[in-house]
Structures are given as C-alpha cells and as structure tokens.
C-alpha cells in the first residue's frame, strides 16, 4: 500500500515540477532517416527532489537496478524514457521527447516518428539490441532491450534510469508490447570487380534470410547472413543489386537492398549550369554516375580544344572557354583499379553536352577584376575599370550548380558592390552577370 502511495504522490510532484520548471523547445534533432523530431532541453530539478526521487523509487523497486548517476543523483530531468531509448542510445544526446504539454509547442507522441519513417522496423519478439514500446491504450513508455528477453533498461520519467523486468516498473506490464530494431542494411563494397568474389552481409537475426541478386552470380551463402557473389558475364559498366529478405517466426518480413557498380560506374547524365555563354566565361559540369562512388576514373574530352582550359575533379569539371564556337563536352568512366582489377569500358560510351560560345565583342578575357566571398557569405564583386566608368546597372542571378535551380537574382552597379548571400544554403553556385549584348559573365562561388 505504501508503495502505491509513494508512486501516486511522486506522480503529482512530477506533473507539477515538469510543468513548473524551465524548458527550451528544440528543432535540431532528426531520426536516422532524416525526419525532424520535436525535443526539449529541460532545466534540472532541485537536489532535494532528486534525492527524494532516488530514495522513493530505489526503495519501492528493490529488484530494479539504477544504472547511472548524473552527478550526485540517479534522478535527472536531462531526458525521459523516449529521449533515452530513441535518442540518447545511439546518438548520445540528452533530450526530453514527449512532454504532453501542447501549450509548449509539443505534439502527440513525437517518439513515434522513429517507428513510422523506417528508421526502426517492427519485429515479433525481443531482439538485442533493440527497442520496446508500450503500445497499449493509455500507455506511453519506451525502453531498450538487453540480452535477457524479459529484462529492459528504461528511464523512469524524471526519476532514475533503471534496469528491470518488463512488468516491474511504475508503468506496469503492457497489454501490447511492440518490439523494434534499427532497420537492417546490407554491408559491403559499392564495386563489383571484373574478376574474383565479394561478400555482402546483414546483421545476424532470428530470421530466415533469402537473397536475390541482379547482374550477379551467387557463389554461396543463400539462407545465411553472409552472401558471396561475382560479376555476371557481360555486365561490366552496369548496375547491380543485392536484396535480402528476412522472414521471422510469425511470417512477418523485412527487406533491405543495396545498389552497386559492376566495373566502372556508368554515366547516367551530364549537367551544365548553362550551355549558351560568351567567350571568356566558365561553364560548370557535373557528371552523374549510376551510383556515386570513390572508385573508377573519369575521362573528359572537349572538342574543339582550342582556347579551352579544364579544372577536373573526378565527375566535376569547370571549363573555361576563351574563344567563340560550338563545343562538345564529353565524359565517360574508363577504368577501375580498385583491388588491382582493371575494367575498361569500350569506346563509344561517352555522354555529351554541347555548348554554344558567342563572341565577347573584343577586349580583355573578363569584365570582372575580382569576386571575393567572405566567411559570412558576403560576395564582393569588382569590375574592370573600363566597366566601372560607364555607370550602368547589370542584372545578376545565382544558380545552384548541382541542381541548375535559380536561387536568387538582383541588380548590381557597374561600380561594383557586395551581394549578401548569408541566407543561401551552403554549396557551389554560379554567379551570372548579364553584361548586355548577349554577354554573360559567369563566376563559380562556394558558400559556407
């Protein structure tokens, strides 16, 4: 009877203290799959309450083990059960998830986003490591599993972090326990060599594993958690895929897949930030392989090559065109020396984009004397003195080189000036200034 009185009284104190103390709503936490999570930074409670809660719950549950002291006491408001199970374990961040106070800007059951966006997937039984969620009506608690199926670790509101049996806590035994594990993925390289074997694996789980492949030969490992494969004849330069389907005792399944290259990654598209420029300008090219990878080499060709200079980094190429003309810019992957293998893709597999370079109208190679980006993403543009003296207004636009999307535009005087791009996301951009008469000055800038 005393035990229930203690829990009831401390429950009232909990509600009052949680509501009555300071908090900060945060919007900087995301699930492993990138979904935003509403969390709260909570001020710590008094030493008196922390000592009181320690005494109450450790004595009321002598068969539960307090796991960690936070300073002098086990009790803390740094995180609650959901914050512990879904955020602290894995990301090491202390937050409160789910306060129950909508007037604070909280939402109903914010912890459920971890279970619904694919970051964690349901399984029919306790699996270690994993999560347990009290999913019954009017139930609201989370825990992590241990290597004993009937024992979990959970944070008890603003009270201690405890290791306990499933039905031995202030939250009781749930009528609907839900078990989750981190969504399994396939481990292995992104490159299938032209000769030899490679292996892929999934975590060892209490499930039957069935493997499926595309453009690959299965050497061994079907129905185990490790699969050995090799390149399928004639598949060099193509994409391949491995799929693992895990079937549990209740018939439920989880599938996960991995894409990779066979030999060199093939180019699926070649993008340019513009294809109509004036002489003395730079065009920024991005080649998109079937799957981004650090393996494989890239061959770039520009025809004709007179008056052209290239700045190449793998599938990026900044090409300066000094003379008018009609140019073909081509790229292909041609070899892969990873693991000592050499897979040459046959000629004729270039991907090409055509660029029309108009006359600049004479004069120096550029109308810009300098473009400077400071740490605050303020871009200072200075023109050639011959331009500064004409007292004109030029239109400019800022284009994301990776996407080709126009992100900002405006005007600048021929005397030069500073453009404030502090609100523009970090990335690589092309600043284009329309000089009139069909002449477009283009300058690559990198924003922090």
pLDDT over threshold 60, residue 361 = no
Specify the pLDDT at position 348: 42
411 pLDDT band, cuts 50/70/90, is very high
What is the spatial distance between Cα 389 and Cα 384, in angstroms, rounded to a whole number? Answer: 9
pLDDT (mean) for 245-258: 96
Which residues make Cβ contacts (< 8 Å) with residue 9, sequence separation at least 6?
A: none
How do residues 160-194 score in pLDDT, each as one tens digit?
A: 999 999 999 999 877 789 999 999 999 998 878 77
When divided into structural domains, the chain yields a total of 4
What is the spatial distance between Cα 180 and Cα 115, in angstroms, rounded to a whole number? Answer: 8
Specify the pLDDT at position 249: 93
pLDDT over threshold 50, residue 398 = yes
Average pLDDT score, the chain: 85
Count of CB atoms within 10 A of residue 351's CB?
16
Residue 395 sits in a domain whose CATH number is: 2.60.40.3080
- 233 and 342 share a domain? no
345, 332 Cβ separation under 8 angstroms: yes
What is the spatial distance between Cα 96 and Cα 172, in angstroms, rounded to a whole number? Answer: 21
pLDDT over threshold 90, residue 1 = no
pTM for this model (two decimals): 0.64
Which of 203, 234, 262 terminates a domain? The answer is 262
- 220 and 123 share a domain? no
Specify the pLDDT at position 250: 94
Residue 199 sits in a domain whose CATH number is: 2.60.40
Q: Domain limits at 125? A: 2-182
What is the spatial distance between Cα 61 and Cα 178, in angstroms, rounded to a whole number? Answer: 24
Q: Which of 315, 322, 338 is nearest to 262 (CA)?
A: 338
- 128 and 214 share a domain? no
- 135 and 62 share a domain? yes
């Amino acid at each position: 009877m005393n035990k229930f009185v203690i829990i009831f009284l401390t429950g009232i104190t909990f509600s009052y203290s949680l509501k009555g103390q300071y908090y900060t709503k945060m919007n900087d936490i995301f699930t492993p799959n990138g979904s935003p999570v509403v969390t709260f930074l909570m001020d710590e409670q008094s030493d008196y309450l922390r000592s009181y809660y320690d005494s109450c719950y450790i004595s009321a549950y002598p068969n539960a083990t307090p796991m960690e002291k936070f300073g002098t006491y086990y009790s803390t408001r740094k995180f609650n059960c959901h914050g512990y199970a879904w955020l602290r374990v894995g990301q090491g961040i202390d937050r409160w998830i789910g306060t129950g106070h909508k007037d604070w800007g909280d939402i109903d059951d914010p912890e459920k986003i971890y279970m619904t966006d694919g970051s964690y997937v349901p399984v029919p039984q306790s699996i270690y490591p994993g999560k347990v969620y009290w999913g019954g009506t009017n139930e609201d608690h989370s825990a992590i599993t241990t290597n004993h199926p009937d024992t979990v670790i959970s944070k008890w509101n603003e009270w201690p972090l405890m290791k306990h049996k499933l039905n031995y806590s202030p939250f009781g035994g749930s009528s609907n326990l839900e078990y989750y594990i981190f969504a399994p993925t396939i481990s292995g390289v992104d490159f299938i060599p032209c000769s030899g074997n490679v292996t892929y694996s999934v975590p060892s789980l209490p499930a039957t594993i069935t493997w499926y492949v595309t453009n690959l030969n299965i050497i061994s490992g079907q129905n185990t958690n490790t699969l050995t494969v090799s390149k399928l004849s004639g598949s060099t330069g193509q994409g391949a895929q491995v799929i693992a389907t895990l079937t549990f005792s209740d018939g439920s399944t989880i599938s996960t897949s991995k894409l990779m290259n066979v030999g060199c990654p093939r180019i699926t598209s070649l993008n340019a930030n513009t294809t109509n420029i004036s002489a003395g300008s730079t065009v920024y090219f991005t080649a998109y392989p079937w799957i981004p990878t650090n393996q494989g080499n890239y061959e770039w060709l520009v025809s004709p090559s007179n008056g052209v200079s290239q700045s190449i980094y793998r599938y990026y190429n900044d090409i300066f065109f000094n003379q008018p003309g009609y140019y073909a810019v081509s790229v292909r992957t041609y070899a892969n020396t990873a693991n000592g293998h050499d897979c040459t893709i046959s000629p004729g597999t270039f991907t090409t984009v055509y660029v029309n370079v108009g006359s600049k109208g004479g004069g120096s190679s550029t109308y810009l004397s300098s473009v400077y980006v400071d740490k605050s993403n303020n871009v200072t543009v200075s023109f050639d003195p011959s331009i500064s003296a004409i007292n004109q207004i030029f239109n400019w636009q800022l284009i994301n080189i990776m996407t080709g999307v126009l992100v900002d535009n405006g005007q600048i005087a021929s005397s030069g000036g500073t453009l404030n791009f502090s609100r523009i996301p970090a990335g690589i951009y092309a600043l284009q200034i329309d000089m009139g008469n069909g002449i477009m000055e283009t300058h690559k800038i990198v924003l922090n």
